[in-house]
């Protein structure tokens, strides 16, 4: 149990375009989903927390207009990177939590902006 | 500021030895503690969690928690080369908007055959 999927697993896009990443909890209802970013050889950095049906809470320094998060259902959250630039190239990982305290991570999406 | 600290390593141990990974945290209100393993280029996977003071064992893994010292550790017995990875300590605390995780920077473990 506790499987979280992400799609796509990797994506290459041109500078200035937008990219949408999906995060799904497959066998449980995720009341809260988290989006992280991880640069090479660095630890996970929390970008935002989203609860189903409400607006996401962004961490300090994360542009909410650039990283759009939608958590429309208990099993799906999406992150849209708008007007992507090369510095947005990173490994984006979502995690999901049900009413318990454990978080389960998706496999991650590697974004490369050329 | 909620902080979680780990020695970045690398920590090198010979195959079959015990690997000891340590983590300290700053917030006395932290309620639960997690150890994740992350292989290079992959997402973290949950190994263990612990909520109460003392030891918790699961196979070759033992988590130890001392809330008075704000210290949590992970012991890996009979270390195998496949255990070579970065180990992330995460601390859960109740903030204004619900429960949040704070991750440590991770300790890179290398098990030498």
State pLDDT tens for residues A27-74. Answer: 888 888 999 999 887 888 889 998 887 889 898 899 999 999 998 888
Asked whether the predicted pLDDT for residue B26 surpasses 60, the reply is: yes
Residue A87 has what DSSP assignment?
G
| 3-class DSSP assignment, residue A39 | coil
Lookup: tokens for A52: 């189903």
pLDDT band at A98; cut points 50, 70, 90: confident
> What pLDDT, on a 0 to 100 scale, did the predictor assign at position B97?
54
Task: List CB contacts of A12: < 8 A, sequence separation 6 or more.
Answer: A112, A113, A114
Asked whether the predicted pLDDT for residue B41 surpasses 90, the reply is: no
Q: Are A31 and A98 in contact (CB under 8 A)?
A: yes
Say what the alpha-carbon torsion angle A44, A49, A50, A55 is, to the nearest 10 degrees.
-130
Whether residues A103 and B34 touch (CB distance < 8 A) is answered with yes
> What pLDDT, on a 0 to 100 scale, did the predictor assign at position A43?
82
> What pLDDT, on a 0 to 100 scale, did the predictor assign at position A64?
92
Q: Is B93 on the interface with A (CB under 8 A)?
A: no
> What pLDDT, on a 0 to 100 scale, did the predictor assign at position B16?
97
Q: Residue A43: its chain B contacts at CB < 8 A?
A: 88, 103-106
Asked whether the predicted pLDDT for residue B99 surpasses 70, the reply is: no
Q: Is B103 on the interface with A (CB under 8 A)?
A: yes
Asked whether the predicted pLDDT for residue B34 surpasses 70, the reply is: yes
Task: List CB contacts of A5: < 8 A, sequence separation 6 or more.
Answer: A23, A24, A26, A106, A107
End-to-end CA distance of chain B: 40
Identify which of B97, B99, B104 has the shortest CB distance to residue A43: B104
């Amino acid at each position: 149990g506790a499987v979280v999927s992400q799609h796509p697993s990797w994506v290459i896009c041109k500078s200035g375009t937008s990219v949408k990443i999906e995060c799904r909890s497959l066998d449980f209802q995720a009341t809260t989903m988290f989006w992280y970013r991880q640069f090479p050889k660095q630890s996970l950095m929390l970008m935002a927390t989203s609860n189903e049906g409400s607006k996401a809470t962004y961490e300090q320094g994360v542009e909410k207009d650039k990283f759009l998060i939608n958590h429309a259902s208990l099993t799906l959250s999406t992150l849209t990177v708008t007007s992507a630039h090369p510095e947005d190239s990173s490994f984006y990982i979502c995690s999901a939590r049900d009413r318990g305290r454990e978080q389960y991570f998706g496999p991650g999406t590697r974004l490369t902006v050329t | 500021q909620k902080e979680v600290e780990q020695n970045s390593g690398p920590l090198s141990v010979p195959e079959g030895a015990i690997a000891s990974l340590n983590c300290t945290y700053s917030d006395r209100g932290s309620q639960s503690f997690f150890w994740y393993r992350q292989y290079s280029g992959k997402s973290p996977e949950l190994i263990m969690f612990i909520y109460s003071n003392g030891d918790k064992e699961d196979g070759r893994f033992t988590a130890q928690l001392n809330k008075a010292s704000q210290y949590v550790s992970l012991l890996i017995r009979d270390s195998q080369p496949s255990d070579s990875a970065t180990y992330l300590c995460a601390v859960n605390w109740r903030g204004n908007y619900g429960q949040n995780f704070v991750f440590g920077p991770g300790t890179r473990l290398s098990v030498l055959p």
